Amino acid sequence: MTPTLACEGLSKRYGDVAAVDDVGFAIAPGQAYGLLGPNGAGKTTTISMLVGLLRPDAGTVLVGGTDLAADPRRAKARIGYVPQEIALYPELTGRENLRFFGRLFGLPRRRLAGRIEEVLDLIGLTDRADGRLDTYSGGMRRRINIGAALLHRPDVLILDEPTVGVDPQSRKAILDGLELLVQDGMSLLYTSHYMEEVERVCERVAIIDHGRIVADGTRRELVAMVGSADTIELVLDGDVAAAFAKLRTVEGVIEAAMTGAGSVRLIAEGGRYLLPALITAVEGSATVTATQVIEPDLEATFLHLTGTTLRD
Ligand SMILES: Nc1ncnc2c1ncn2[C@@H]1O[C@H](COP(=O)(O)OP(=O)(O)O)[C@@H](O)[C@H]1O
Ligand SMILES: [Mg+2]
């Protein structure tokens, strides 16, 4: 199947900085693809090249098989782009803003009117469509800016950190809306430095750091790179020191630490299967009153691959 969006060998330098260095990936029809990386990783520069705003030093972009450099008009018509900076008209209403952008994209007036109503419904702003933009919250403005990118029915929606500066309620509305679009068959390129959003929205993820993709795969594949060790936290009641000494010797436990008056943290292979053995081990010294198993996530994967945290 022809990918909706594919790139290969994309590179861009600014002086000494390799902002984007040999980036490549392919997004299948109906697939949500995440680009996860900290600030300065090269996400916006990558997107700018994918949407034809920035000429790459090297590399190719194919939109539904069409080479962006060879036929930009045709390629760009298949892309919906939601920029990080929201450019909307504060004195116009939500509906008027959509109309303005629809005309800008060259949509015929007749078809546009109906499409605006569909898009307003999709972004959940039908009720507020006649309010001026300067009365909207940051999240509502962001939804209008996503709506504007959807008017021409693109095959792929490219979003540059769409939840930055957005209130939690709108954030949820945005993520829910994106899930609906994907269920409807839209492809997505979602960029973020929020691990939990990418984990929720995206089926495949590329981790980008210093302009390079350091790993990519399904969420599960990436997490598997960290290894199968889980973190287990136990709260104990009784002779905690004696119980701790017993816990360290349980087969499968890699590391153990006392983390509070009655709590112990263990790192163990296949941790959740070890719980019965742990509970049995402390018998006679203490009882386990609470347990928590923390499985590795993309945040742990990122730390493992790059040695830094995502939020630095
Ligand atoms: N116009 C520019 N001129 C010089 N350096 C730039 C420019 N745009 C981006 N950079 C640099 O390229 C790197 C990647 O930036 P960017 O793509 O904006 O990262 P992200 O979107 O992941 O935060 C950063 O080191 C940034 O400082
Ligand atoms: Mg950016």
Q: Are residues 190 and 156 in the same domain?
A: yes
Q: Are residues 37 and 171 in the same domain?
A: yes
Q: Are residues 135 and 179 in the same domain?
A: yes
Over the stretch 132-171, which tens digit does the pLDDT of each residue have?
Answer: 999 999 889 999 999 999 999 999 999 999 998 888 888 8
- Residue 162 within a domain: yes
Nearest to 22 by CA among 52, 45, 2: 45
The β-bridge relationship of strands 212-218 and 204-209 is: antiparallel
CATH at 238: 3.30.70.920
Long-range contacts of 243-248 (CB under 8 A, 24+ apart): 243/281, 243/282, 243/285, 243/286, 246/281, 246/282, 246/285, 247/278, 247/281, 247/282
Q: Give how many domains the chain has, as a whole number.
A: 2
What's the whole-model pTM score?
0.83
Over the stretch 89-134, which tens digit does the pLDDT of each residue have?
Answer: 999 999 999 999 999 888 998 899 999 999 999 898 999 999 999 9
**263-293 core/surface letters (b: 16 or more CB in 10 A; e: else):** bbbbbbeebeebeeebeebbeebbebeeeee
**pLDDT mean over 53-75:** 97
CB of 41 closer than 6 angstroms to any ligand 1 atom? yes
44: alpha, beta or left, given left = phi > 0 and alpha = psi -120 to 50?
A: alpha
CB of 14 closer than 6 angstroms to any ligand 1 atom? yes
Domain boundary among 161, 194, 224: 224
- Residue 310 within a domain: no
Q: From atom 4 of ligand 1, which residue's Cα is the shortest distance away?
A: 14
Q: Are residues 12 and 70 in the same domain?
A: yes
Domain boundary among 199, 224, 249: 224
For residue 265, the CA-to-ligand 2 centroid distance in Å is 37
Residues near 217 by Cβ (< 8 Å), separated by ≥ 6?
Answer: 204, 205
Q: Are residues 35 and 161 in the same domain?
A: yes
The domain containing residue 247 runs over which residues? 228-295
Q: Are residues 215 and 150 in the same domain?
A: yes
- Residue 202 within a domain: yes
Nearest ligand atom owner, CA of 208? 1
Evaluate if residue 277 carries a pLDDT over 90: yes
Domain boundary among 164, 195, 224: 224
